[in-house]
Structure 1
């Protein structure tokens, strides 16, 4: 029996959220005892991929776009797997009956203004197609599952399974000299609420630096404008995308992790801050409260004053910091990519 996985994002050099999710699942799948079950990884070879992993199928396609809808669909006709797993929510037009798709979030429904018209059309088409065609659907949180049920009550079925993400629990060396840094990890885009983060930093600024780690996204021009207008622009660093090891070092050596997002389906950087032993403040939104529990300090993401107040409290209150750090470390141990992969594999294998 064969489980096929659309694995392109796992092999991208500059991986972000969905890429790391796919990568860690594949790594853990390879460790799981799979008697009678084979994995087949489908990859768009548009980039220079150097990984040497068995069972990869590089599916060449002459066009820059439509690889999933075109080339992967052709592969499903010629040589379909028993189950096809799509870690991001856009499946090919043609697929086996047993199609499993992960829907990470429905941000485009609540905040359409932060998407281009083209992206909105694609997102809407993709979600509706998944809800109509998928044999099983995976979400990373109860919140995302409830969003599907809220926005698509006629399409949502009892085939939605919640499987939380995992987190790496690697110990990092802490450098006390760098403990004046406030770190944000994620795309620099409108829905991540970076403009209000800059405003709150302007209110807070006192011997601290703000480190922004992540690639540019939709709405970056306004973010850059806000940074250049800040009286403390020399204390704001944009590091762009960094390798995972470098991100982990910055996070472990930060005074504080801040996550001001307006909308998340899970919020993996929050969990990563807990594992790194770095206290966190974040938006008071459902998914982050589901993931963070009582380990973080929450603020109103629309209110820079409140954001600055919560950052100041977590930075200056030593008792609060210590409690948050210890709770976060304990909480992070409840999440692992091994556990995520095992639960996901059960969902996939039950279709064989």
Structure 2
């Protein structure tokens, strides 16, 4: 069997959740399965990681050029799927078709017609095999539309509706996300006609994510940790927050809670503010960043908050290891990878009682209502002053992290693709 995979998201230089999902699932799929053939379609010249995968005898990399910045999947990958269909047509007949001569102009008629096409992100090609499996990670743009620009929101709605209607199977990354997809999208106007006794939710499969255990782990070399912290200008104890700086991630709520904590008398929260802990935000500015920036200035937190923007996966484990705690107060998450990464690094976690986070964190995190600023401030204060609480969360976190593996995620994905 030939399995085609859209690898465009896996080769992005700056990766967040969806990109890391594509990267690790593809990597583990080709390691696990030596029977099937894989064709990995990419929108730029293969990087070293992809070239290494391409050295395997059952893996082929196809670089599909596209002159435009957007719509590579809907445009260029669709064309490739069309050429795959034309391959079985006699050359004379194919040349008579509207796209026949264009197809012949490409580097030969492609022979790698996939039996199943896997799309790690929800954007499916318009032209696709009947057996297409798409991964849809969440429906945050439906729950929090104000967190997205108008064009982005329209595109996400359209691409998700298209995937729900035309994909043979849908993969999502948590039971919470499955419930959200069923709630918002599995209605007759978006979906194909049902057979008697068929349930739309039955086409949605949950595969929990994993984390990179080779990178995210307890680092015993404190000098190495301190060197990376110094690289980012961090010299004091700190609380870490990882994720895009935007409304949906509740960055504004975190800033307000940090302001409240900073103004708390030192007798109840020692070491916070002034010469004590700082708040480190590791993430790129997102939708609503100007308002967040104004909030920082309004509360005179410029010297108490360190903004790092995007941090590479090579450096991120050192930040987790150096932090007193991770605070992740997001209003909505399809999964929440930073929880697993922090658990694996031995970092206690404060997380929002929202979205998929309780499903992922289990009993290993300290949960708060993300809308309750006072409760969030109190949780941070408690974790900073209570060493026993921190150690309890560290122990539970390490046990929890062991339950999530990329290999397991890939194995479950392979079963879905093969079925």
Question: Where do 1:246-325 residues align within 5 Å?
Answer: 246-325=315-394
2:409 and 2:390 map into 1 onto residues whose CA distance is 29
Report if aligned partners of 1:143, 1:286 keep a CA contact under 8 Å in 2. Answer: yes
SS in 2 for 1:113: helix
CA distance in 2, matches of 1:263, 1:311: 20
Gaps of 5+ in 2: 55-59, 85-112, 192-199, 227-234, 263-271
Structure 1, gaps ≥5 residues long: none
Match of 1:187 among 241, 244, 255: 244
Question: Which residue does the alignment assign to 2:405?
Answer: 336
Aligned to 1:151: 184
Alpha-carbon distance, 1:168 to partner = 2.3
2:209 to 162, 165, 170: 165
TM alignment of 1:1-352, pairs within 5 A: 1-35=1-35, 37-45=36-44, 49-51=47-49, 52-53=51-52, 54=54, 55-79=60-84, 80-154=113-187, 155=191, 156-169=200-213, 170-173=216-219, 175=222, 180-205=237-262, 206=272, 207-350=276-419
Check the 8 A contact 1:179/1:253 in 2, yes or no.
no
Deviations 1:307-327 (A, max 9, x none): 110111122122211111101
| Structure 2 Cα separation of the partners of residues 113 and 171 of structure 1 | 36
Offset, 1:153: 3.9
Residue 179 of structure 1 and its aligned partner are, at CA, apart by: 7.3
SS in 1 for 2:62: strand
* Deviation of the 1:286 alpha carbon: 3.4
Match of 2:88 in 1: none
Query: Is the 8 Å Cα contact of residues 236 and 278 (structure 2) preserved in structure 1?
Result: no
* Structure 2 contact 239–279 (Cα < 8 Å) conserved: yes
Tell me the alpha carbon deviations over residues 8-41 of structure 1, each in whole angstroms, 9 at most, x when there is no partner. 1211111111111111112211211331x11111
Q: Distance in 2 between matches of 1:33 and 1:105?
A: 28
Equivalent pair of 2:118/2:134 in contact (CA under 8 Å): yes
Q: What secondary structure does 1:244 align onto?
A: coil
Which deviates further from its counterpart, 275-284 or 51-60?
Answer: 51-60
Which entry has the higher C-alpha Rg, 1 or 2? 2
SS in 2 for 1:31: helix
Deviates more, 1:174-183 or 1:148-157: 174-183
**Change in CA separation of 1:33 and 1:48 when aligned onto 2, cut-off 3 Å:** closer
Aligned partner of residue 192 in structure 1, secondary structure = coil
Task: For residues 86-115 of structure 1, give each alpha carbon's deviation from its aligned partner in whole angstroms, at most 9, with x where no partner exists.
Answer: 111110101000111111100011111111
Compute the displacement of 1:50 (Å): 4.3
Residues 58-110 of structure 1, C-alpha deviation per residue, up to 9 Å, x if partnerless?
10011122211110000001123111111111101010001111111000111
Displacement after TM superposition at 1:173 (Å): 2.1
How far 1:302 moved relative to its partner? Answer: 1.4
Encode CA deviations 1:256-310: one digit per residue, 9 max, x unaligned.
Answer: 1000111001111111111111000011113101111111111111122111101
Residue 95 of structure 2 corresponds to none
> How far did 1:228 drift?
2.1
Q: Give TM-score, length-normalised by structure 2.
A: 0.80
1:111-131: CA deviations, max 9, x gaps?
111111111211111111111
**Contact 2:211 2:340 survives alignment (8 Å):** yes
**Whole-Å Cα distance in 1 between the matches of residues 299 and 83 of structure 2?**
57
Q: For the structure 1 residues 230 and 321, does the alpha-carbon distance in structure 2 shift closer, same or farther, using more than 3 Å as the test?
A: same
TM-score under structure 1 normalisation?
0.95
**Matched residues in 2 for 1:148 and 1:48: separation?**
33
Q: For residues 130 and 70 of structure 2, what CA distance do their matches in structure 1 show?
A: 25
Please say if residues 168 and 275 of structure 1, whose CA atoms lie closer than 8 Å, have aligned partners that are also in contact: no
> SS of 2:28's equivalent?
helix
